[in-house]
Amino acid sequence: MKLQSVRLPLFSVLLVAGTMFFSSCKKDKANDPADPDQQKALAVVDGDQLTSQAFNEVFNISLGVQSSDAGGDIGIGSGQGIIYRPGGDAGTEGDACFTVTVTPKVWSEWPKTVTWDFGDGCVGKDGKTRKGKIISVFTAPVFLTGAKVTTTFEGYQVNGFAISGTQEIENKSTPNNGLALSRKITDGRVTNTASGVWHEIDADIDYAQVAGISTPLNFADDSYSLSGNIEGSSSYDITWNTETTSPLIINVGCKWFGKGVLTLHWDTNPTPATLDYGDGACDNKATLKYKDWTQVINL
């Protein structure tokens, strides 16, 4: 397969766009639910987002390998502000408590294995403490069509939450159609090491640029669509499925999804809930609805 270079959006946008279903949320306490299924609807949102947020960070770290670490550009910089200093490579040498190993560290040899080793405790630029290793295998530079990145873990933890499973990313961009990525999470588990409580997901997510394709030098008019589904379970004996019934849309210049609807199913309940991100306004609100009950979610 011939690899083809594609134009990339602003890295900060991709970092936000990685947050499909993944932003932390809190409910409006003026409308606390009493019905057990309403409570489960909220539990599904919380468990789904808790687990997926962890893999969102891994998504950005793995795609954000820096050229100073790799001896060449094989990532796309989206890990800035997480473990790397915001703004790029400048100033990161000598003050990072993690190590990055690239094998082989040769410009034209592929695949490459990149290992981020956080040792027994390393505080990132985002203030979180990480331990253990993230290991990513790159078939080619991420910015090339057809490139794949497969990520696994060895004893990896973030603030006392152990993370395991496999995450695969593939660049599916085509000429003149903007950036397109697919992302698959298999057996993605997050475990609270103090309590033993765990949540696990399997996910298939697609990213596609839907606006700004014809103006590659103007990032301000870019928009991205996210769609897919997540199947989850937890030690609380809840199983769920989250799917997009209307693609989530995010615009450059806004950190929130402006449009899109998720449908939430859990256990054997025949009636799903929905999470609606609105009519396009840039705000931090989403509305969770189950039957005649609604709950405002503050993202």
In a domain, 292, yes or no: yes
In a domain, 3, yes or no: no
Closest of 93, 38, 82, 28 to residue 59, by C-alpha? 82
Averaged pLDDT for residues 174-198:
94
**What is the spatial distance between Cα 182 and Cα 158, in angstroms, rounded to a whole number?**
25
Q: What is the DSSP string of 212-276?
A: STT-TT-GGG-EEEEEEEEEEEETTS-EEEEEEEEEEEEETT-SS--EEEEEEEETT-SS-EEEE
Query: Which amino acid is present at 210?
Result: V
Using 50, 70 and 90 to split pLDDT, how confident is the model at 205?
Answer: very high
Residue-number span of the structural domain to which 165 is assigned: 11-298
In a domain, 1, yes or no: no
Q: Is the pLDDT of residue 51 over 50?
A: yes
Residue that the structure tokens 């060449």 belong to: 72
How many structural domains are present in the chain? Answer: 1
In a domain, 185, yes or no: yes
In a domain, 183, yes or no: yes
Q: Is the pLDDT of residue 33 over 70?
A: no
In a domain, 125, yes or no: yes
In a domain, 171, yes or no: yes
Q: What is the pLDDT of residue 126?
A: 86
Reported as type and span, the H/E element at residue 87 is: none
In a domain, 79, yes or no: yes
